[in-house]
Structure 1
Amino acid sequence: MKILLTGGAGFIASHICDRLISEGHEVVVIDNLSTGRLELLNPRAYFYQLDLCDPAIALVFQIEKPELVIHHAAQVSVSNSQENPVFDAVNNIIGSLNLYENCRQYKVKKIIYASSAAIYGEPLYLGIDEKHPVKPLSFYGLSKYLAEIYLRYYAGLFGLKFTILRYANVYGPRQRSDGEGGVIAIFLSSLLKGEAPMIFGQGEQSRDFIYVADIVEANIQALTRAENEVLNLGTGKELSINQLYASIEALLCSQLQPVYVPERPGDIMHSYFDQRKAAELLDWKASYPLQEGLRKTIEYMS
């Protein structure tokens, strides 16, 4: 199958690209390299350095004629979205619309869209299932959700099939530790340099941490399953930041104590997903234990 992958030089999508190619698929990557890195790009992928808002995207569809699209390219910084909501909307909404329109015009069979736990906002209950009310606290969460809504309209009006995958906190090799890097990458980067990392608030806030290979597997299953469905991807377990730090500290045999700083405005206290719908429709579950995922991440970053 020929698959167009947006953001394929980035953290999660580069892993997806590798897996697709290993399974014999032909992969075309679009990435503007604003946060992606060429060294992460599989050399067997066809690469176009383009922004999703560029009209030249149509030429890629004309030339390559992809059968399926996996859409990961996005502006992913929550803080940047708050400071510049127009930039966030152009990237996450207008860029997605340009992609959807080309999918419609060039008869793409299906699109898999990578969404985020950020769309839910402050949880009303745990674990968060797909029926949980949507009330994002950031422009980033809002833009990711609006791109979901547009995709549903394209499905209803034009028959474009989709699967929407909402990710919990993904971690693993290739994740950036700067900017909006995940907390695990940030902790590891600091500790490996002999620096004490910061923890916001008391460290009792909890999240659902899922290893990148589990996310890759869900995307592979979604190639042929869960049409026109929305699925949460997580472990179904919560882990506090203090517990996470203790696990990392033990694996690194570190004695460095974190520096506690005031909590950030808008941060939610607890979050984890109910992953049962994904388990049923994708025949999938998160299979990497935290310790194994952390070890693999440490090996990559060391």
Structure 2
Amino acid sequence: MVLCAYVTFDDPDGHDDERETVLEAWRHTGIDGRAERWDDPEADWSAYDAVVVRSAWDYLDRRDEFLAWARRVEGVSRLLNPAVVLESNTDKTYLRDLGVPIVPTHWSSRDLPDHEEYVVKPAISAGARDTTRTADRAEAAARAAALEAAGRTPMVQPYLHMVESEGETSLLYFNRRFSHAVRRSPMLAPGMTGADNVRARPRTPAPDQVELAEKVLAAIPQPLLYARVDLVRLPSGDPALIELELTEPYLYLHQAPGSAARFAAALRELL
């Protein structure tokens, strides 16, 4: 029996509603899965054939500690996704290096381009945390400057109104094979307050979205057990990458029958 750790966090409110689904799917493929907090000092990571990062959703305030943990684990077990992937993917400046269309992004508080509305956020963030939407150019510049003053890299982007009708398209891949896709409601639309209010439903991605998602993944040379490619459409109608989730993405397994089994099969293949 293969023994794998399902890496989570101290989750008293039960936010991770995919854990038992994944562990059951693992059992059906001969994987003994055990939930472990990433910051548990008593965890013996060397006992596992693989350590799979899943809902480590409290790492953001302790990113350096989390990455140091990942490097330690990689010294005694198989970490998925690998530590080098986690380090790059937890800082959104990786978007500059992929060589694919992304949402137009200005990485400074100075010389802001003209947009009808702005979205300002730090490069290290999650779930719309510390994110501002404003139609005031001066406010956008001030918010970006405040991030710089705090030693953080700002991202200044246009607010794309079509996401309120089109939504975001998230394509899920397990061991680089397409599993399923969902349409996600936008986090910054009126009445939305971040990741906890995001709703999703199944979606068949368009051919140009699949083409872009696979080009994005081709830019990552390391093994990838899981990947979520989040796309939006620009005013031109062309798809663009808004984020590549390779660290601890929610996988929307409940929206796609059979997806948990595909996830388990992908893990078996990599092992």
More strand by percentage: 2
Superposition TM-score tier, normalisation by shorter sequence: 0.3 to 0.5
More helix by percentage: 1
TM-score, normalising length: structure 1: 0.34
